[in-house]
Amino acid sequence: MKIARFNEGRVGVVVDDQHLVDISDLAGMDTHQWPPVGPTSLIARFAELRPRIEQALGDLPRIALASVKLQTPVPWPNKVIAYPVNYHDHGREMQANYRATHQGFFLKPNSSLSGAGEPVVLPNVPTREVHHESELAIVIGKEARGIRREDWKDYVFGYACLLDMVVRGREERVFRKAYDSFCPVGPWITTADEVGDPTNLEMELWVNGESKQHANTRDLVLDIPGMVEMAAAVMTLYPGDIIATGTPAGVGPVRAGDKVRIRIERVGEMTVDVVQGTQGATAVFETPYTPDIVKQK
Ligand code: MN
């Protein structure tokens, strides 16, 4: 099943390539609630609600996907976890002497989340490049702490495409990755049963139609079971938590006017516009920095 969020907090199920069905009322969601935790609790209750949703899909009106604005599927998770340097080729291009297996994760602020129908807003930091990182997102479905690696599947709700946007530099990683709109997730969550085996998914990213990143999740250094196990070793994972699994080689700058397209096999595809914003200038990025990226064969 594909669970989308659209038009000011409605939740829908995508029923074919061109339509979705609004299940907000069926799921008992208050779409005006603040904070917007409806999707978080929908994920927690999904197993219980699923039969009712499936039964109602044929009876509810179909809405053209082209007519809605897709928002980030889980706007208020407990946390967004992200694994750095988790493909060897990206580690080589960045000349990083570590990998996620022995580095652990960092967090991105929930306020950086945005959706497929929203632009990436570049901060006013003219001395710096803002880079795209294409990543598979794991969405947690069940509370987890201290779990065994072999049980990882029990805790995964689904998957989505994720762009881990970053201002390149040597300052705090979280600071450089924290801007509003620096974590587009979408176009929706595809549930784990529909994706099947996530350890062999083709993933590609284009900027203005030109392929920049192309990889397969089989090349992850710390694999998907390992990422769930490691995160749950440290913290309690909650339904709706998002794990950004790391980016392969080919990262590079985006500029205002660019269109960034990400596609992950059996998960989805989205194209996000890049626009220039006026906010975001701080003392931190006063000094220029140009990353020394080593081109991968
Ligand atoms: Mn990343």
Mean pLDDT (whole number) for 115-131: 97
Task: Tell me: do 267 and 132 sit in the same domain.
Answer: yes
Task: Tell me: do 82 and 29 sit in the same domain.
Answer: no
Residue 164 lies in a domain: yes
| Domain's final residue, options 68, 83, 113 | 68
175 vs 12: CA distance, rounded Å: 33
64 vs 18: CA distance, rounded Å: 6
Task: Tell me: do 187 and 81 sit in the same domain.
Answer: yes
Q: What is the pairing mode between strands 120-122 and 113-114?
A: unpaired
Residue 112 lies in a domain: yes
What residues make up the domain containing 210?
Answer: 71-279
Q: Does the pLDDT value for residue 157 go beyond 90?
A: yes
Task: Tell me: do 48 and 105 sit in the same domain.
Answer: no
Task: Tell me: do 34 and 149 sit in the same domain.
Answer: no
Q: Report CA(150)–ligand 1 centroid distance (Å).
A: 25
Cβ pair 272, 184 in contact under 8 A: yes
Q: Report CA(164)–ligand 1 centroid distance (Å).
A: 5
Q: Report CA(67)–ligand 1 centroid distance (Å).
A: 31
| Domain's final residue, options 68, 89, 106 | 68
Q: Report CA(131)–ligand 1 centroid distance (Å).
A: 10
Confidence of residue 56 (pLDDT cuts 50, 70, 90): very high
Tokens standing for 144? Answer: 């987890």
Residue 290 lies in a domain: no
148 vs 233: CA distance, rounded Å: 9
Cβ pair 63, 24 in contact under 8 A: no
Q: Does the pLDDT value for residue 143 go beyond 90?
A: yes
Task: Tell me: do 109 and 230 sit in the same domain.
Answer: yes
pTM of the model: 0.97
Q: Report CA(20)–ligand 1 centroid distance (Å).
A: 30
Q: Report CA(244)–ligand 1 centroid distance (Å).
A: 7
Task: Tell me: do 50 and 174 sit in the same domain.
Answer: no
CATH classification of the domain holding 195 = 3.90.850.10
Q: Report CA(291)–ligand 1 centroid distance (Å).
A: 15
Counted domains in the chain: 2
What pLDDT, on a 0 to 100 scale, did the predictor assign at position 119?
Answer: 98
